[in-house]
Amino acid sequence: MCGITAVLSRRASIDPQTMHAGMTSLHHRGPDGRQHWMASDGRVALGHTRLSIIDLATGDQPISNEDRTIHIVVNGEFYDFERVRADLQARGHRFRTKSDSEIALHLYEDYGPECLHHLRGEYAFIIWDERNQRMIAGRDRFGVKPLFYAEHDGALYLASEAKALMAMGVPARWSAEAVYAGGFVLPGERTLFDGVYAVPPGHFLRATREAHRVHQYWDVDYPRDDAPAAPRTDAEYVEGFRAVLEQAVKTRLRADVPVGCYLSGGIDSCAVLGLASLHHDGPIHAYTLTFDGAQYDESAIAKEMAARAGAVYQPIPMTQADLAANFRAAVIQSEIPFINGHTVAKYMLSRAVRESGYKVVLTGEGSDEILAGYPHFRRDMLLHHTEGQDPDETSRLLRELTENNQVSRGLLLPEGDADTGTACTTLLGFVPSWLEAMSGSFGRLRALMRDDFIQPRCGTDVIGSLLASLDVERRLKGRNAVHSALYLWAKTVLPHYILSNLGDRMEMSHSIEGRVPFMDHHVAEYLQRVPVSLKIRGMTEKYILREAVKDVVTTTVYERQKHPFLSPPATLHPDEPLHTLMQDTLRSTTAANVPFLDHKKLVAALDDVARPGADFGHQVVMDQPLTLALSFVFMHEGLGMTS
């Protein structure tokens, strides 16, 4: 994994200092080397900061083709690259390096932008094609690797992070519409920053000196419910899933440096570790975050799993003081607000892993997004898959679901009233439970915002705007409720939060490459054809995964219900440093300077959660908007936002 930048100027020559500034801001993504290439006319440039994982000796970038007419910079990994490389060499291509990155360059020579269909992995890349005078910037199918762009002062800028665009001269301004929407329920190309856009997952940007345009090359595609069912038994589905998942894990063990594993008490990371142990030479190092409080700590389960897999177990203790000391640095690196201190914990986990001498880890992110693992998907199953259900039993199960998920109240299940607009019900016939929960959470955040910021936007249908950016007719109509909810989640929270705040940004903050087998498109495409009843069986989530990896995980993990990865809320620990940080920062003049937050409302909310005898549930629910507000304060100050 690395950091990449590019500039395509339509007028003046590019100042080399512009490239240096962008690459310097991405040093954490690539501390092992820094280089850039500039066209002879000075109006096109590519920059690269390198984290060396494969081909440690000759893999520096940018890389050029045989006649030096096509140039590339890559962030990420391409898997199964040796086979692709051999095929390209047989067709006459000559390679300058032994790295996986170079295959994209030669595939582009043969296929143009269609080369994206021949790539497997987590990646973002930028190509300058001199012969055709065009720039192609592609991003992987689920958006594991970030890629941003902006038009400014006669030039197109691209980079792995928004802060690099700002370092190169793009103004640092908030997008009022995106802030109002909360930052996560946004179309794939939108960001929190005015004029800064993301190349959406499964898309590529094509740019010339005249204009640029974004094109889609892949999409999540659940079959319609009236499509003919495959003549397969449950056992056959399970066997097929085991094969494709194990292959995804195996191929991600390929590296020229040691590969470790992040491990929690959940079945996702345990499955990855269990399958990896079958193909790894020697014990795998497994790193586990530990927290104070039995509701949040999974170390005992993780330790048992590590022993089962023959792994070297390394716990990483995490306290409220640790979270407080690192919150500001983590959210500035993320560029996306936090809903919980779990993101700070991942930031510190990556630092500990790097300090232990590792820079590649396998992770379980993305499993819940393709296997319907979260409780809100089970709620949708109960509410909208009602054929043959006893209404009384359904009501009992809904109550049980809520009672079993107290630590994520208002986050993963709806809490209180929420304004979800009308478009969702009109177009889909229902509102996914996660959109209800998210709307409620951001409604509570808006209650902390200035009236003159909120009033011009009252009545905005945030969910309707999201749906307007999607092909509802082809991708959502005729699908069941769970698959529709999964599709919408994959377009929003997955790239905007899960793969960023709990993945790439926190890992790359300390030069750690995270590899995500569940986001392998072969795994995802297989599961898209699996009936929803194999994803949720009764009240058992991720049923097909449990059966597929039963032989490589512990009984404890196999039988355990989904427990979201969360750190203890600051609002529940009034004597701890994270609570003090929240109280002191949100009461300060620094918070008053954020143009959309209302200082008086913040202080009132802080008083309310800190009062003696405050209700536990209310404190848990209010921790989310207050943590979001705290994030915005540090982002505004740390990123140098001007408005």
Mean pLDDT within 302-309: 97
Q: Is the peptide bond before 391 cis (omega within 30 degrees of 0)?
A: no
Q: Is the pLDDT of residue 565 over 90?
A: no
Q: Is the pLDDT of residue 416 over 90?
A: no
pLDDT at 1: 63
pLDDT at 57: 67
Of 2, 115, 261, 424, the active-site residue reads 2
Identify the residue with better confidence: 18 or 408: 18
**Which runs of consecutive H residues, i.e. helices, occur in 81-138?**
81-90, 102-111
* Residues contacting residue 5 through CB under 8 Å, at least 6 positions apart: 19, 22, 23, 26, 36, 45, 46, 47, 48, 73, 157, 158, 159, 160, 164, 168
Task: Tell me which of 93-107, 245-259, 405-419, 443-457 is least confident.
Answer: 405-419
Q: Is the pLDDT of residue 64 over 90?
A: yes
- Please provide the size of the chain in residues: 643
pLDDT at 108: 97
**Which runs of consecutive H residues, i.e. helices, occur in 420-471?**
423-428, 433-446, 451-454, 462-468
pLDDT at 213: 97
Mean pLDDT within 518-525: 97
pLDDT at 156: 98
Identify the residue with better confidence: 441 or 192: 192
- Bridge-based pairing of strands 63-64 and 70-78 is antiparallel
Q: Where are the domains of the chain?
A: 3-216
Q: Is the pLDDT of residue 535 over 80?
A: yes
Q: Is the pLDDT of residue 407 over 80?
A: no
The percent of residues in the chain predicted with pLDDT above 90, rounded, is 78
Please report where in the chains the tokens 């749906």 appear, as a residue.
Answer: 467
Rounded to whole angstroms, the Cα distance separating 118 from 113 reads 10
pLDDT at 239: 98
Rounded to whole angstroms, the Cα distance separating 623 from 511 reads 30
What 602-606 contacts at long range (C-beta under 8 Å, 24+ apart), as own/partner pairs, is: 602/448, 602/626, 602/629, 605/447, 605/448, 606/582
424 is catalytic: no
Is residue 102 within 8 Å of 95, Cβ to Cβ? yes
Position 28 confidence tier, pLDDT thresholds 50, 70, 90: very high
Q: Is the pLDDT of residue 388 over 70?
A: no
Q: What is the three-class DSSP state of 587?
A: coil
Mean pLDDT within 575-591: 95
Rounded to whole angstroms, the Cα distance separating 100 from 79 reads 8
Q: Is the pLDDT of residue 422 over 90?
A: no
pTM: 0.95
Is residue 590 within 8 Å of 574, Cβ to Cβ? no
Closest to 276 (Cα-Cα) out of 361, 176, 394: 361
Mean pLDDT within 574-583: 94
Mean pLDDT within 79-97: 93
pLDDT at 337: 96
Q: What is the pLDDT of residues 359-386, one digit of tens each?
A: 999 999 999 999 999 999 999 999 998 7
pLDDT at 599: 96
Q: Is the pLDDT of residue 394 over 90?
A: no
Cα dist. 627→82, 343, 468 in Å? 45, 11, 30
Q: What is the pLDDT of residues 218-243, one digit of tens each?
A: 999 999 999 988 889 999 999 999 99
Cα three-residue angle 145-147-150, rounded to 5 degrees: 170
pLDDT at 523: 98
Position 11 confidence tier, pLDDT thresholds 50, 70, 90: confident
pLDDT at 102: 94
What topology does CATH give the domain 3-216?
A: Glutamine Phosphoribosylpyrophosphate, subunit 1, domain 1 (3.60.20)
Q: DSSP letter for 112, please.
A: G
Identify the residue with better confidence: 248 or 425: 248
Mean pLDDT of all residues belonging to the chain: 93
